[in-house]
Amino acid sequence: MTNLNLDNLPPEMKARLAQIMQGAQQAPAQEPAPAPKPAPQPSLLDHTIALRQEVAAMNQQVAAMGQVVDAVGQAVGQLYAMFQQQTQPTSYSSAFQAGQTEGVDDSDY
């Protein structure tokens, strides 16, 4: 593309192109900016520390679940004890059976 026909261009364009060409020849070639270094890969120690933190968090969660299970068990035990305070079951059938046997005359049999 060095063989351009610049004769047909207006004088302003010719001047601007000449200025650009001179600037390109005078400016030294700029080196591209160095690429950023990639993030370092985590080491085995980093993985170990992260795993220990996860295990500690899991231990706390398991302890909390154990406390919840104990609390629910105690509540169920209290409810069970509250309903077991009745020593004699009170129902219509037991009262009916007691009433039937009192006045029965078994001499016919």
> What pLDDT was estimated at residue 72?
96
> What pLDDT was estimated at residue 1?
47
CA–CA distance, 90 with 88 (Å, rounded to integer):
6
- What pTM value is reported for the model? 0.41
> What pLDDT was estimated at residue 21?
82
- Quote the Cα angle for 1-11-21, to 5°: 40
Instruction: Express each pLDDT in 65-88 by its tens digit.
Output: 999 999 999 999 998 888 877 655
* Contact of 51 with 59, CB cutoff 8 Å: no
CA–CA distance, 44 with 42 (Å, rounded to integer):
7
> What pLDDT was estimated at residue 2?
52
Contacts of 17 (CB under 8 A, 6+ apart): 6, 9
Spell out, as residue ranges, where the chain has pLDDT lower than 70: 1-4, 27-30, 86-92, 94-109
